[in-house]
Amino acid sequence: MRGTLAAGKTTITKGIALSLGITEPITSPTFTIVSEYEGKLHLYHIDVYRLDSCEDFVNLGSDEMLYGNGVSVIEWSEKIQDEIPAKAITINLETNKDNSRTITITNWPYGDLQ
Ligand SMILES: Nc1ncnc2c1ncn2[C@@H]1O[C@H](COP(=O)(O)OP(=O)(O)OP(=O)(O)O)[C@@H](O)[C@H]1O
Ligand SMILES: [Mg+2]
């Protein structure tokens, strides 16, 4: 998931968590890097803003998060682009002048959306 500071990345994750039936409050993982929740599927909510390298992400257990059975939502994913699987869905958020958001979803299996 891409988008400048405060674009709404964590807010979208709250919606994804809701759709997975997660009732626990979703908080920003900026300082913890990874938060995990149990729902219809396991949710990894990851914020790589504070990581320095792809290697740091791999050392956190990226294989399990990206190639296990759960859903991974990654804020600032462009920072670790080399580790992002080819089939990952990309959500791009832009804040418009009137404070509305333009959200573009690419690599969605049913076609790109805006
Ligand atoms: N679609 C939207 N329209 C208006 N305000 C929004 C929208 N989405 C989120 N916000 C507001 O913007 C603020 C930042 O949202 P959020 O924490 O989800 O952003 P973020 O992209 O995760 O930020 P960060 O870069 O700090 O991780 C919050 O106050 C939230 O309520
Ligand atoms: Mg956030």
- Residue 58 near residue 83, CB atoms below 8 Å: yes
- Ligand 1 pocket list (CB less than 6 A): 3, 5-11, 28, 30, 75, 99, 101
Q: How far is the CA of 45 from the centre of ligand 2 (A)?
A: 10
Distances (CA, A) of 71 to 21, 50, 94, 101: 13, 21, 23, 24
- Residue 16 near residue 1, CB atoms below 8 Å: no
The answer to whether residue 110 is domain-embedded is: no
- The whole-number pLDDT of residue 82 equals 96
Owning domain of residue 31: 2-87
For the chain, which residues score pLDDT lower than 50? Answer: none
The answer to whether residue 108 is domain-embedded is: no
Q: How far is the CA of 93 from the centre of ligand 2 (A)?
A: 12
- The whole-number pLDDT of residue 60 equals 95
* Phi, psi torsion values for 102, nearest 5 degrees: -105, 120
Kindly report the CATH number assigned to the domain that includes residue 66: 3.40.50.300
Q: How far is the CA of 101 from the centre of ligand 1 (A)?
A: 10
- Residue 1 near residue 74, CB atoms below 8 Å: yes
Q: Note the pTM of the prediction, 2 decimals.
A: 0.95
Number of residues that make up the chain: 114
